[in-house]
Amino acid sequence: MNLEAEQHILGCALLDKNIVPKLLEIPEDWFLHNDHKIIVRSISSLASRSLSCDMFSLVDELDKVNGANNNIGMQYLNDLVEQVPSLKHFDSYKRVLFEGYKKSNISQVVKNLTNQIKENTPLQDMISYMQSSVMDLLTDHNESKPEPIEHYMKKLVDELAWQNENPDAMMGKQTGYKQLDETINGFEAGKVYVIGGRPGMGKTQFSLNLGLRISKNDDTVIFSLEMTGMGLTRRALSNVGNLDGRKINGAKLEGDEWTQVLQAAAVIKDQNKIFIDETPNLSTAQIRARLKAHELKYGNVGCIIVDHIGLIKKNPKKNEREALSQISHELQAMSKEFKAPLIELVQLNRGVESGDDKRPELRHIKETSAIEEDARVIMFPYRDDYYNKDGMKTNVTELIIAKNSDGETKSIYFQDDMAKAQYTPIDNYIKPEKQSKKQGKFS
């Protein structure tokens, strides 16, 4: 069946020059018969030189390429043309060809797994290979190609018209934090957003808040490589139920607090489409495989959160810088593949804490510049209370937007309640003046 599909596709291209561009969009790997690969290669060579792809030119090209070893003559090309049932069925032949290619890949995966079993390959390596292979098989071939600028111009004009008709709407997913949403134009599909900070700054807590808000409208998948799923759920329950997390952790609930817990659990179940994967040490290939499985089971992925990038399994053949760069690039590709905003958490280096002002800067991102380059927006939550324990407690988190590719960089302020995992926006916040050590905190 696959051999016939290959023959019919080549015959269509020889019969109608307008089909040649469609043939050249098909990857050579889809053709299993070696002679057919050579024909495709030769047609591609002629087309690249703006030469005719008729049978006479093709035979000459085949003779030049293969010389005395060429066994593809005029008779075979004539047979290909005569065997074509109909030019109208080109897309059907292409579909059969694609299915044959996938079946061939399945056979190869089975063969490789059989060899791995015989060679006593570690179980985890076999499972990782099987996961990535299966997801590749489930993913349709990417047939994207260069498009004329008019293609994108139409999409842009449509977007601008939509924004003009909906002046208060944003292109990206909104969190309800108005200042943040307006500053970054929402969390847009296919783009990476970085939340970076030192331990104690509330990276996980703030990203969970974003996830809870986005998940009211869109499936949000959190890869919690550090904190357990139960730990995240406790924080979510604390946030929605307006409960002190310390009481939930110790199950020291009293009276109406049990009712609050049950009500909050029901609200989260009914209103939030949030999924947590607590598996540690995942590779980017495994993350992609799990997202693909989620997409196949539940539909589109609305938002991806990875906590945090430093805990993703690294390529052992690369140094730390190269490995993190590779992970960053692969996460960026993932956000495009799944057409979802990807929020990645990043641990900052200790240089943040070496100066008098502990506010982080872009230079404090660990090891690699790739994270900064791949991100559309980079945000640093900063809590002055954490570093100035002797001063007056403000319960304020400053969200420093240090990079914003399509907008301004600024700080946005939140009244935080860390015990309840809650952030309340503060409008028109005025920073308190720093007191000198000589003055003392009460002078």
* HSE-up (13 A, CA, CB side) for residue 252: 6
With a threshold of 0.75, does the pTM exceed it? no
CA dist list (Å): 203 to 20, 379, 399? 53, 10, 10
Q: Return the pLDDT at 139.
A: 60
Fold of 172-426: Rossmann fold (3.40.50)
User: Which positions ≥6 away from 116 have C-beta within 8 Å?
Assistant: 125, 126, 129
Q: Return the pLDDT at 439.
A: 42
Q: Return the pLDDT at 47.
A: 77
Q: Can you say how many angstroms the Cα of residue 119 is from the centroid of all Cα atoms in its chain?
A: 34
> Do 304 and 334 contact (CB within 8 A), yes or no?
yes
Report the alpha-carbon distance of residue 349 to residue 28 in Å, rounded. 46
| CATH classification code of 2-121 | 1.10.860.10
Report the alpha-carbon distance of residue 205 to residue 108 in Å, rounded. 44
Nearest to 310 by CA among 339, 351, 280, 336: 280
Q: Return the pLDDT at 65.
A: 67
> Do 359 and 386 contact (CB within 8 A), yes or no?
no
Residue spans of the domains in the chain: they are 2-121, 172-426
Q: How many residues are given for the chain?
A: 443
Which DSSP letter does residue 25 get?
T
Nearest-10 Cα torsion for 277, 365, 193, 287:
-30
Nearest to 214 by CA among 246, 189, 195: 189
Residue ranges of the chain with pLDDT lower than 50? 436-443
**Phi, psi (5° rounding) for residue 419?**
-65, -30
> Same CATH fold, 172-426 and 2-121?
no
Helix, strand, or coil (residue 398): strand
Burial 59-88 (b: 16+ CB within 10 A, else e): bebbeeeeeeebebeeebbeebeeebeeee
Q: Return the pLDDT at 192.
A: 93
> Do 415 and 424 contact (CB within 8 A), yes or no?
yes
The tokens for 394 are: 């403000």
Q: Return the pLDDT at 376.
A: 92
Helix, strand, or coil (residue 5): helix
